[in-house]
Structure 1
Amino acid sequence: MRAEVLHIEECPSWEDAGRGLRSALDATGHRDVAITFTLIASAADATRLPFAGSPTILIDGQDLFPSDGRTTDLACRVYLTPKGLAGRPTQEQIESALIAHG
């Protein structure tokens, strides 16, 4: 399994998303999976990757939270969580998505 967080420099949520992903990977039996953090610094970077806003969490190259599509805008992403809109999914949401991913 490959885990990656795509992010922009100005995003305040990418580090917390990475910590949530690490905890979720550990909780679902994937302690050996390393997380790669990829800075999206330009529209060209966003074009070559499945970027849907920062942070985008990829597992095996696919968005763990598929949305309406990719973007080349260097912008933050918003997730719907049980407590409303947030800059990252909850650890529980990440865990559920990992389990569904297989």
Structure 2
Amino acid sequence: MPDCPNAPLIPERITEALQGWVVPVEWIEVNDADEARRQRMSGSPTLLLGGVDPFFVPDGAAASLSCRLYRHADGTTDGAPYATDLRRAPTASGPC
């Protein structure tokens, strides 16, 4: 979403997780609640791998333009998944 304070973390962490691999990435800026629903956005930033949010936590919350926090394996929270979390994230075709 525009001006998301956590948005700059995502490309940094993706780059770190890929460790030199070249992978196509599509960046989509979501500007309103209707677009958030269409993109299945559960807070900003949302990362989809193969069209699936591997960090989705079903809590009954609707898609929104709100800020999102990610819980890490060490129990801390942050505005984006750590590179280690991204490397372990499942995709539609299996683990990364």
Residues 41-90 of structure 1, C-alpha deviation per residue, up to 9 Å, x if partnerless? 00110111121111111111110212116633211101112261111111
Report sequence identity in percent.
Answer: 26
Evaluate the alpha carbon distance shift between residue 35 and residue 70 of structure 1 in structure 2; reply closer, same or farther with a 3 A threshold.
farther
Give runs of ≥4 in structure 1 deviating > 6 Å: none
**How many residues matched?**
92
Task: Sort the Cα spacing of 1:19 and 1:57 in 2 relative to 1 into closer, same or farther, 3 A.
Answer: same
Query: Given residue 63 of structure 1, which amino acid in structure 2 is its aligned partner?
Result: D
Structure 1 partner of 2:32:
42
CA RMSD of aligned residues (A): 2.2
Q: TM-score, normalised by structure 2?
A: 0.79
Q: What residue in structure 2 maps to residue 9 of structure 1?
A: 2
Instruction: Give the match for residue 19 of structure 1.
Output: 12
Say yes or no: does 1:55 pair with 2:51.
no
Query: Greater strand percent: which structure?
Result: 1
TM-score, structure 1 normalization: 0.75
From the two aligned structures, give the one with the greater helix fraction. 1
Helix, strand or coil for the counterpart of 1:58? coil
Change (3 A) 1:98 1:19: farther
- The worse-fitting range, judged by mean Cα deviation, of 62-71 and 44-53 is 62-71
CA contact (8 A) 1:22 1:35 kept: no
- What residue ranges of structure 2 are gaps of 5+ in the alignment? none
